[in-house]
Amino acid sequence: MSTKPTTRLILETLLPHLKVAAAYANFLQPKIAALPAKEQAKNFFAAALTDADVAIQNLVEVVLLGTFPDIRFYGEEYESSNNTKYFRAIELGSEGDYLVTLDPIDGTKFYMDGHSNYQIILSILNSDDFEAVIAISPAQNIYFYALRGEGAFKGTLEMNLEACAPLHITSAKPSILLGWGMNAIAHLLKDRYKVIDIATDYSSDIQIPNLNGILSGDLSGAVIKSGKFLDSAALAFIAKEAGWIVTTLDGSPLPPLHTCKNYSLPGLIVAASKSVHQDLLSAMQSLAASEC
């Protein structure tokens, strides 16, 4: 098989296996037992490492090595995986030399606490931008995917890629998600939006929207301090392909991926409309002015 498969071929090849991973994650959720916490984790979400994370990554790695053995791959659990050393590289490549990334359980804390809004996120990255992202919600039996310049789509886990419908996020709730470290702008938005601060509003008992709420209509915007390639930047790419506005925190276009460090874009504003984006941008500008 070609060492440079198309993005669609990669997604089509991996989708059946990702569906198996989704069924496994759904089955295991009530039974999950946490493994030792990740070292140097900055918050309790990042510290949550489960059996499902490692097992799902191992499954995807085996499929990739057996089908596209020359492809680049970076998985969140690369330090725990015995397969990392077999991939040609874990970094971004040159134009057309794709990097596949995987967050085996995005929202691990949500997953461990029994919430339904965790996801399996797989992305295909070029040197400058995302080429494709697929985000599977096992407990909700749905998945979203986007291809660069071709839009975003939504379907159930029984559907193949072609059967999915275009994703149109309409009537988004007037709720804004603030990622870790962004609570300083909460008071500037509460007169117009329900503000959800992930650091203070998370509950083990009551489910709150995760960032994937931008795809379900549970959020009309989000402000994220760091756009990790594995998760938040990937979900923002799907939203952008669905017609949302995605910029850096100062309103600038997103930089090319190869200029970024630590597999992360700078902070992100993700907004359903120009008016929501302006509100979030104004809040960030007010914060910057107050810190001068």
Q: Is residue 1 part of a domain?
A: no
According to the annotation, is 120 in a ligand binding site? no
- Asked whether the predicted pLDDT for residue 3 surpasses 80, the reply is no
Beta bridge partners of 133: 123, 146
Contact 163, 145 (CB under 8 A): no
- Both 156 and 188 in one domain: the answer is no
Task: Please tell me the predicted confidence (pLDDT) of residue 9.
Answer: 97
Q: How far apart are the first and last CA of the chain?
A: 56
pLDDT bin (cut points 50, 70, 90) of residue 99 is very high
pLDDT given at position 232 = 97
Q: Count other Cβ atoms within 10 Å, centred on residue 99.
A: 23
**Is 73 domain-assigned?**
yes
Is residue 33 over pLDDT 80?
no
Whether 128 and 109 share a structural domain: yes
Is 113 annotated in a binding site? The answer is no
What is the percent of the chain where pLDDT is above 70? 93
The answer to whether residues 152 and 238 touch, using CB atoms and an 8 Å cutoff, is yes
Give 40-98 pLDDT, tens digit per residue: 566 655 555 678 899 999 999 999 999 999 999 999 999 989 999 999 999 999 999 99
Q: Write the CATH number for 154.
A: 3.30.540.10
pLDDT for the residue numbered 31 = 80
Q: Is 218 annotated as a binding residue?
A: no
| Enclosing domain of residue 221 | 175-291
Q: Do 119 and 243 fall into the same domain?
A: no
Same domain for 43 and 133, yes or no, is yes
User: Is 245 known as a binding-site position?
Assistant: no
Rounded to the nearest 5 degrees, what angle is found at the Cα of 80, between the Cα atoms of 76 and 85? 90
Indicate if 30 and 160 belong to the same structural domain: yes
Q: Is 197 annotated for ligand binding?
A: no
CA 73 to CA 259: how far, in whole Å?
A: 19
